[in-house]
Amino acid sequence: EVQLLESGGALIQAGGSLRLSCAASGFTFNNYPMSWVRQAPGKGLEWVSYISETGHDTYYADSVKGRFTVSRDNSKNTLDLQMNSLGAEDTALYYCARDWGTGSYYFDYWGQGTLVTVSS
Amino acid sequence: DIQMTQSPSSLSASVGDRVTITCRASQGIRNWLAWYQQKPERALKSLIYATSNLQSDVPSRFSGSGSGTDFTLTISSLQPEDFATYYCQQYQTYPPTFGGGTKVEIK
């Protein structure tokens, strides 16, 4: 069974940094690209970042480019999101999601999410 | 970016009803459209990919159709476990974008 478990969410002051993690199990992690998708309170879904199977290719939404960094450790089956210079607009539930295939951006499995609250 | 517009934003229906949700893309996306279900406990579940292909373990009462810019998700006979919010998403063009969601509530 595919499982994705996010952690690291917290209440943090504006301007601060936070690192989210996602632990993957139930599939061959290094065969799949991964993404982060977020959902602001009461709002819809917003794709945030993508990382290829090897970690060599990364992409970001314009709203986070230059502030967020995605990485993965295929030896530990973990996905991370380093978030810097956080603002109130980054308050959201952050999901990690498995991409169906290279560059597909179709997300076939999702985690439960971890909540990031940025106070101004 | 491609804008995805869902309608209605919410609807009330009874168990056994046929429910249709519409998703419109601001430009053509061929058939690169997915549907997701979100329940109040926050879990997101993939339902349909490439417009009409059911993800494994999704009940056959769910179906999807459309092409180009106009797409629909249909639940043929609404069940109690189907009360949730549904999102469409295009993955034809980077960046991937989602619709605003349709909340299906109990009448």
User: pLDDT tens-digit profile of A75-118?
Assistant: 999 999 999 999 999 999 999 999 998 888 999 999 999 999 99
pLDDT recorded at residue A102? 85
- Which DSSP string corresponds to chain B? ---EEEE-SEEEE-TT--EEEEEEESS--TT-EEEEEE-TT--EEEEEETTTEEPTT--TTEEEEEETTEEEEEESS--GGG-SEEEEEE-SSSSPEE---EEEEE-
Is the CB of residue B86 less than 8 Å from the CB of residue B93?
Answer: no
pLDDT at B24 over 80: yes
Min distance B49 CA to chain A CA atoms (Å): 7
Is the CB of residue A46 less than 8 Å from the CB of residue A39?
Answer: yes
Q: Which two tokens stand for residue A3?
A: 């499982």
Q: What is the mean pLDDT of residues B23-45?
A: 93
| B80 CB within 8 Å of a chain A CB | no
Neighbours of A75 (CB within 10 A): 8
| A27 CB within 8 Å of a chain B CB | no
pLDDT at A44 over 90: yes
Q: What is the mean pLDDT of residues A47-62?
A: 97
State how far the Cα of A70 lies from the Cα of A48, in Å rounded to an integer. Answer: 10
pLDDT at B103 over 90: yes
pLDDT at A41 over 80: yes
| A102 CB within 8 Å of a chain B CB | no
User: pLDDT tens-digit profile of B35-93?
Assistant: 999 998 777 999 999 999 999 999 999 999 999 999 999 999 999 999 999 999 999 99
pLDDT band at residue A66 under the 50/70/90 scheme: very high
DSSP H helices, B15-105, are none
pLDDT at A15 over 80: yes
DSSP H helices, chain B, are none
Query: Max CA-CA distance within chain B?
Result: 38
Question: CB-CB: which of B34, B42, B55 is closest to A112?
Answer: B42
- Length of chain A measured in residues: 120
pLDDT recorded at residue B40? 82
Residues of A in contact with B95 (CB under 8 A): 47, 59, 61, 105
Q: What is the mean pLDDT of residues B16-42?
A: 94
Min distance B79 CA to chain A CA atoms (Å): 23
Average pLDDT value over all residues in chain A: 97
